[in-house]
Homo-oligomer: A and B are copies of this chain.
Amino acid sequence: MNIVQWIAAKRDGQRLSDDRIAAIIGGYANGSVPEYQMSALAMAILWRGMDDGEVVALTRAMRDSGDTLSWPDLDCPVVDKHSTGGIGDKVSLILAPLLAAEGLAVPMISGRGLGATGGTLDKFESIPGLTVDLSMDAIRRQVRDVGCVIAGASAEIAPADRRLYALRDVTATVPSIPLITASILAKKLAAGLDALVLDVKTGSGAFMKQPEQARRLAATLVQVASQLGVPTSALVTDMNQPLGRMAGNANEVNESVQVLQGGGPPDVRELTLQLGTELIGLIDAAPSRDVRRGLESSLDSGRAMEVFESMVAAQGGTWSGPLPCAAAHDLPARQAGYVASMDAEQLGWSIIEIGGGRKRLDDSLDRSTGLEMLVRIGDRVERGQPLMRAFCDVAGFERIRDHLYRAVKVVDQECECPRLVIDRVSSAISGEPS
């Protein structure tokens, strides 16, 4: 193989054949393609793009660079959910036990915080004693016994993606739809799924700031996953303000439990129900209204919460009521008016600043810190009314107060709250939005 000519072909805007993509990724995984060639190719892919066929080949090659799971001893569908990440997005913590309560198997392989956004694993670990570092055998056993697991990716799953992900991070080759697609799907498809639902975030707190970018990513993800044999739906959802009231670690777990007990903020509950309905719609011909009612009943009856507690216990933790949070500091509005916009990414960086996320890979977290949003976009606020509440020490609040003020824009004119679900892309034949 002559990888230089293949890099040159992509550089010049040509497409790469399936065989060449497989040879490149195989060579990268076994070390015969060095990092410096992979990074040049990644930049050329970012520049020239890839068609859906190329992304399918890339995803397949990355999936097949390591172990793939299968579930011969299960007689229920195996499903998963992935979010591209946003502030306050705790849906995974709710959806995994909720889907398991509906009889599905959910081997949810999750990640740590990335950029300004928190990570499901970091949040879940707020529960005392709980671990997310599980062997493949432990994952299999827990899925069989409890129905769901939330764990970190093992080194055996898609190792080419693990290397490429780290390489892209240090070579400015992250924002490429083909590379993002292959990275997300390689790991998910290696888990042997029967269906997958994706939450593609767009807005000030999302990686994709523009809805059009998010739609393109959603379409590519659904197209590629379907071509690789996994029925997939994606919702494009709003991330112009944090999801729910709470953003942090312990406080997001607390809010998740509220939703699992039938309460919690309406947007978190609604998005959880819509994603769950989408997913079940991919494997079940029942009318989506009935599916949704089933999910609502699982939340309201406490069935989903029971599964959550079993999952926590299986992973070494104990749920004994709301987790403690750091001292609260209110941020009073400096003027009356309407909340026009929020810089949700800035809110995410502020949470990192008070210890809720990492600036460096080896930073340890203070999981008791976070923010509580007391207003939403479109709300009327009076001067002095608290806009939000920070959980942190006094020094931390001093450091972030000005950032928090800058992140919330209050204006004189009335404003509309953005729609929660902006678009839907599905490989299911019945194309009605739920």
Contact = CB atoms under 8 A, between A and B. Distances in A.
Interface in A171-187: 171-173
Contacts of A47: 43, 47
A358 interface: no
A1 interface: no
B46 A171 contact: no
A27 to B, nearest CB: 13
Nearest to A167: B36
A4 B36 contact: no
A172 B36 contact: no
Main secondary structure of the interface of A (DSSP, over half): helix
A269 interface: no
A382 to B, nearest CB: 41
Number of contact residues on A: which range applies? 20 to 34
A46 B13 CA distance: 13
B39 A172 contact: no
Contacts of A42: 40
Interface string A323-365: 0000000000000000000000000000000000000000000
A169 B170 CA distance: 22
A38 interface: yes
A40 B173 contact: yes
Interface of A: 4-5, 7-8, 11, 34-40, 42-44, 46-47, 167, 169-173
Given A11-B173, A40-B172, 11 more contacts: A4-B169, A4-B172, A8-B172, A11-B46, A36-B167, A36-B170, A36-B171, A37-B171, A40-B43, A43-B47, A47-B47
